[in-house]
Chains A and B, each alone.
Chain A
Amino acid sequence: MKFAVVVFPGSNGDEDAYHAAGEVLGQQAEYVWHKDMDLKGADVVILPGGFAHGDYLRTGAMARFSPVMRAVERFAARGGPVLGICNGFQVLLEAGLLPGAMLRNHKLKFRCEHVHVRVEQTDTPFTFACRPGQVLRIPIAHGEGNYFAGTDVIARLEANRQVVFRYTDASGEVSDEANPNGSTAAIAGLCNEARNVVGLMPHPERACESVLGSADGLVMFESVVAALRSGALGGSTGSTLQAVV
């Protein structure tokens, strides 16, 4: 399995993602520079955390225009699994690959700590090996992770089961205290309608080894390998994946 880790000027989670996929998981991993026009034959694409293009104008706003994003869009349209982590999630929002936008955290603080998220959907390539309702303890590190979308969009996300992760406490209960940034409906991550593009604010790649305080994030990387191996992603839509699950 080949993971492509996209590197934008200002990415800082790229080496973590490369390490998780290449060293911890033992898969093939390759960096793809933002000016590259192709994804080097990757099976999985990761848009890492950081501050792409300095987050000028808005988080993720300039990265949308990087040449590599045309290849990412084509890859996603073909049903290829794409994971946007933190700033990578913000890039996916700005690129229109996922709906909604990010606001400053409701209390204006940059939050850098471990949080708990509950897996809401297991029929995405990155939650394929999770148990429904499984609570993962993984870190966040962001100042603009306050997910916002209009009420009509939120209703559609819920109806389509596109909310993949929600902030909860350790027991999996949603509460204001467990929501670190004020995200609407405690949304920590979501997927597109076809379910192959997933974005989340927490950093699973920084929680793949117990020495780092948690290994709960590894299941997301194992998920995509399992999903690809099972042939569940053979089609271009998530319905194929769902059938296998």
Chain B
Amino acid sequence: MRARVFVTLKASVFDPQGKTIADALHSLGYGAVDDVRQGKYFELDLRTTEAAQARELAAEVADKLLANPVIESYRIEVD
């Protein structure tokens, strides 16, 4: 199975990089872009065929290392 982990700063945490990217897009004329949040993306190749197991493992790995729970949250997709 493959798990995709999307890590982003929590909504309550200011994202200066996202803000800078949004400002750049505005200066390029993309006024319709209201906001940008930047994050990290991980692809995990997992030695399992069980989706539930893959999700559980990806969550454990995200909790332990991929995301810092103080400032970041994550979302997992499995296929």
- Where the two chains meet, the residues of A that have a C-beta atom closer than 8 Å to any C-beta of B are 57-58, 61, 93-94, 99-101, 103-108, 146, 148-150, 182
Contacts and interface: CB of A to CB of B under 8 A. Distances in A.
A149 B70 contact: yes
B66 A148 contact: no
A138 B54 CA distance: 49
Contact of A101 (B12, B16, B71): B71
Nearest to A102: B71
B16 A106 contact: yes
A58 B40 CA distance: 11
A107 B14 CA distance: 11
Interface residues of B, number: 12
Given A57-B65, A61-B65, A107 B16 contact: yes
Interface in B30-79: 65-66, 68, 70-71
A44 B71 CA distance: 30
Contacts of A149: 70
Chain A contact surface mostly? loop
Given A61-B65, A61-B68, A182-B16, 13 more contacts: A57-B66, A58-B68, A99-B70, A101-B68, A103-B14, A104-B17, A106-B16, A108-B17, A146-B16, A148-B70, A148-B71, A149-B70, A182-B14
Contacts of B66: 57
B57 to A, nearest CB: 18
Contacts of A104: 16-17
Nearest to B67: A58
